Structure 1
Amino acid sequence: MWGRLPPGVSLRTPGALVATWFGSGLLVPGPGTWGSLATLPLGILILLYTDHWVLLAVAVLTFVVGTWQTQRLIDAFPDDAPKDNSSIVVDETVGQLIALIPAAASPLLWLAAFVLFRLFDIWKPGPVRFLERRLKGVWGIMMDDVVAGIMAAVCVYGLALLELTDV
């Protein structure tokens, strides 16, 4: 089953391609989870072949481009459409990339980063829910996932420390 794009917008549109993270946001159920899963190969390849600084730079670049393209896609939806359309998953992409930063080359930590980010994104504890409710438009869409990613990254870092001391 597939989600929908605004009338007249296709995945051939660069903005829709970015905002839906190459169409993964059109998969249902759980487009946010699909978007996070679609992000894992990129994050893992960066961690395996470069380092966490490159992953951070890619997350920042994805945030900037994703914010811009998400706003363009929001503007294409009819006025009565929800502003955080479930097909927009580039916010999950950014959050997932952030969550992966401390994971290094550990498959166990990659899994933890995925699960913890999805947990914080769905559960929306404290600051995540606050930002989602307080910030309007594209900033609310993007920033709650940034904070969920940071919270997951802190937990992954703690797990990484445990993994290192256990050896």
Structure 2
Amino acid sequence: MARAVATVGYVGLLRPAPGTWGSLAALPLGWVAMQAGPVTFALLIAVAFGLGLWATGAATDAANPDPGEVVIDELVGQWIALLPLAYGAARAGVPVHALWPGWIAAFLLFRLFDIWKPGPVGWADRRHGPLGVMLDDVAAGVLAALGVLALAALAHGVVR
């Protein structure tokens, strides 16, 4: 069971670039989760983080502390990047898929920060154990979410 969770239903076994596959799988799963509303989506992110800690702990060891097949961390980070869309769609009274440019931005920004590992993302990546595996993607997700908010502000004329 831990392996199925850690690999997000074995998506992490896809090659090449299992992290990108994990992030892509997070998009439709995130859309389904968002149907319950933004608060529930935020709670599901916290649940996925807890499950991710457990599954990552069970699926890793000292010899391979962050195997590529573990992509539950990508799901959590990608969902964090999508969180502004859940709240924005609810506030505007539109379906979340109507904010499709934000979905593209959230995906691209999350992948950029997850691969580049600037600042807090790199710090978290250097931590050992399941918490480090999860936290670097949480940090990348937060940076991507901030980027999504900034791009939305630019697109909607809030910032000129």
TM-score normalised by L of structure 2:
0.86
How many residues align structurally? 147
CA–CA distance in 2 between the matches of 1:25 and 1:162? 35
Distance 2:143 2:38 in 1: 16
Per the alignment, residue 19 of structure 1 pairs with 6
Match of 1:107 among 100, 103, 110: 100
Q: Distance in 2 between matches of 1:145 and 1:125?
A: 11
Matching of residue 128 in structure 1 with residue 121 in structure 2: yes
Equivalent residue number for residue 70 of structure 1: 56
Return the TM-score normalized by structure 1: 0.83
- Identity score, percent: 46
Aligned residue in 2 for 1:44: 31
Letter in 2 for 1:113: A
Per-residue deviation, 1:165: 3.0
2:5 counterpart SS class:
helix
Aligned to 1:162: 154
Q: Please report the RMSD computed on the Cα atoms of aligned residues, expressed in angstroms.
A: 1.4
Q: CA deviation at 1:46?
A: 3.1
Letter in 1 for 2:129: G
2-structure distance, mates of 1:69, 1:144 = 16
Partner of 2:93: none
Amino acid at match of 2:150: G
CA contact (8 A) 1:102 1:160 kept: no
In structure 1, list runs of 5 or more residues that go unmatched.
1-13
Counterpart of 2:119, as a letter, is: G
